[in-house]
Chain A
Amino acid sequence: MKRSAMELVCPAGGLPALRAAIDQGADSVYIGLRDDTNARNFPGLNFDPATAERALDYAHRRQRKVFLALNTYPQVQHPEIWQRAVDLGAELGVDALILADIGLLDYARRRHPTLRLHLSVQASATTHQAIAYYRDRFAIERVILPRVLSLRQVQRVVEGCGVEVEVFGFGSLCVMVEGRCLLSSYITGESPNTKGVCSPAHAVRWEERGGQHQSRLNGVLIDACSGSERAGYPVVCKGRFAVNGRIDYAIEEPTSLSVLDLLPQLQSAGVAAIKVEGRQRSPRYVAQVTTLLRRALNACAADLEHFQVDPAWSQGLAQLAEGSTHTLGALDRSWQ
């Protein structure tokens, strides 16, 4: 049976990536502004108002959508920065705002009653009751689910929440519940919630010491190895540490998420959209991932019952993955 494909939502850290995503078949692209208001607040990344306008023009001429992510938590000292960003999004005519903060959702809904609002993954809404909170008060029309739910739990959420559900399909994997992880700020003072960064580049140092490759975060040794192996980027949850005298990845192996194998189940469950992580990635990366996922999503929609993963897609994606290994993440678990 032919059905319409799940929406493919791709990341863009700049205009070239946005064009690449749209040219390769993304239905929607999500972007951020060049400040603390979004969770990929990296140097050289993101859009100023003029570039955002060009991005919208490029997308809308091709009947595609642009979402603006304002998914950090407004800080007491400067809440007006976030409010101005909401107003800017409305003025530019973005197709939706992606918000996490309750106060900012309240502001956006009051100021812009018809503006489409999506609930960011950073809001950590993991149940239909939590989603109902945002739906009842702020009329959110879509929720992006944290990458901690099993497939069965995703199904239950879709059945019970009354808004569109978007799930992460490919990219880096947060092992912690998004929006509720302070590991980065514990060591550096800056977190995704407060500054839109996890392990900010200015706190990172790479060193060779005693025959070891080391990566440090604000001076703290996060990863160390020897020989031809490389120390990983010092994200706390992906470091190698000592627990009871044993040194290993005590929290998580560095792997990427890829839900290719589960696309039919996600589509049957009624998932509306598949999201690709990675606004910090290059236009080339975005183009490649978009191309492969577009094919997979179309194949899945064309024949759900007989869908098979083309080895070319999984090989192509594997080459792009962090650590070159894939996991289905929490979706694959049978337990709670």
Chain B
Amino acid sequence: MRLTLGPLLYYWPRDQVFAFYRQLAELPLATLYLGEVVCSKRRLLRLEDWLMLGEELAASGKQVILSTLALIEAESELALLERQLGNGRFLLEANDVSAVQRCAALALPFVIGPHINCYNAATLEVLCRDGAVRWVPPLELSGDALALLRSSPKVQIACELFAYGRMPLALSARCFTARHYQLPKDDCHYRCVDHPDGLRLDSQEGERLLVLNGIQTQSASLLNLLPALPRLQQLGIDYLRLSPHSQAMPQVISTFHQALHDGDLERAAATLQRLPLHDYCNGYWYGRAGMVNGEITSTRSP
């Protein structure tokens, strides 16, 4: 099992993005996903910048994959997709069926991103015929469901599991960060840049629930599949995806790397617990509410 870094879902200044990726170049990551997934208005990095960064990372031995937007609506967004397709070097992660359609039409292999609704073997078969070479299952898919899928002889595709980080839960045509600042979406002042890890949303009782990230809504807790590592190994999962944030990401990567090699989950869990962001959840994996942490059934009380 190897580690990958999912696309950056937040909006950071250009220099910060470059510095972030450059510090990761020497870390044990097999694949890095580059590109803007959330909002086409975020233009501090153009496609050319991402490609330049990609060249640098590829030169240090990393596999680079370009992620497409998760919600494609406008002609300009389809045009950006065409430019991504024509990059001539890197694979694409398709996060919208528009991207699947175009990859298939151009006979380009692609990764099925977590935003594509691929919940079963029949769908996976069709997507493989279309040229899919790797699959990131939907976040909702449980470990048992994945095990059943992996046991199907028809399903032979590399599997990359979203294993760590805030989960992208929903997409909208509206921007909730702009809404919070009472700004219209078309004049949003790019306020996302003020929130390097999103904008926290709590219940009226102070329970941390969600994070607003422009048009995307994320879980407030970070998904953490570290406790399920033995099962993931047993299932032959090929890659574990870590989704980036701004705080101590190199430590997250080395902790997962260490755990994969020495199997010392307790020590790894303790390290993760000491990091700045350490509210974890993994309920989906155990077939439960996504926000729950742990395997054991517990009844939430108000």
Contacts and interface: CB of A to CB of B under 8 A. Distances in A.
Interface of A: 73-77, 79, 100-104, 106-107, 123-127, 129-130, 132-134, 136-137, 148-150, 153, 156, 175-177, 179-183, 185-189, 191, 193-194, 205, 207, 216, 218-222, 224, 236-237, 239-244, 246-247, 250-252, 330, 333-336
Interface in B108-151: 115, 117-127, 138-141, 144-146, 148-149
Contacts of A220: 203, 207, 209, 291, 300
Contacts of A242: 201-204, 206
A132 B118 contact: no
B169 A186 contact: yes
A83 B173 CA distance: 33
Scoring B78, B104, B289, B290 by chain A CB atoms within 10 A of each residue's CB, the highest score goes to B289
A243 B97 CA distance: 33
A194 B204 CA distance: 28
B23 interface: no
Contact of A101 (B77, B120, B125): B120
B168 to A, nearest CB: 8
Given A149-B73, A180-B117, A244 B180 contact: yes
16 contacts: A76-B149, A103-B120, A106-B123, A129-B102, A133-B98, A134-B97, A136-B101, A153-B73, A186-B290, A189-B288, A220-B203, A221-B207, A236-B210, A244-B200, A250-B180, A251-B212
Main secondary structure, interface of A, reads mixed
A133 B104 CA distance: 9
Contacts of B210: 183, 236, 241
B110 to A, nearest CB: 13
Contact of A183 (B169, B199, B287, B300): B169
Interface in B80-112: 81, 96-98, 100-102, 104
B205 interface: yes
A151 to B, nearest CB: 12
A73 B120 contact: yes
Scoring B98, B125, B148, B284 by chain A CB atoms within 10 A of each residue's CB, the highest score goes to B98
A185 B287 CA distance: 10
Interface in B44-103: 70-78, 81, 96-98, 100-102
A207 B148 CA distance: 41
Main secondary structure, interface of B, reads mixed
Contact of A103 (B40, B71, B121): B121
A137 B73 contact: no
Given A76-B148, A103-B125, A177 B169 contact: no
Contact of B115 (A102, A180, A216, A246): A180
B102 A241 contact: no
B173 A75 contact: no
B302 interface: yes
B4 interface: no
Contact of B122 (A77, A107, A188, A207): A107
Given A182-B139, A242-B206, 16 more contacts: A73-B120, A75-B119, A76-B145, A76-B148, A104-B123, A127-B73, A153-B73, A176-B172, A193-B140, A216-B302, A224-B204, A237-B170, A242-B203, A247-B204, A333-B186, A335-B185
Interface of B: 40-41, 70-78, 81, 96-98, 100-102, 104, 115, 117-127, 138-141, 144-146, 148-149, 167, 169-174, 176, 179-180, 184-186, 199-207, 209-210, 212, 217, 219, 283-284, 287-291, 300-302
Given A180-B117, A188-B289, A130 B101 contact: yes
Contacts of A127: 72-73, 77-78, 96, 98
B209 A153 contact: no
B171 to A, nearest CB: 5
Contacts of A222: 203
A74 B122 contact: yes
Contacts of A252: 174
Contacts of B199: 243-244
B111 to A, nearest CB: 16
Given A194-B119, A243-B199, A186 B219 contact: yes
A140 B201 CA distance: 40
A176 B217 contact: yes
A177 B172 contact: yes
Contact of B202 (A130, A205, A241, A330): A241
B119 A243 contact: no
Contact of B167 (A123, A186, A207): A186
B148 A77 contact: yes
Contacts of A194: 119, 140
B130 to A, nearest CB: 8
Contacts of B283: 189
A242 B207 CA distance: 10
A176 to B, nearest CB: 4
B176 A336 contact: no
A175 B174 CA distance: 7
A185 B290 contact: yes
Contacts of B173: 148-150, 177, 330, 333
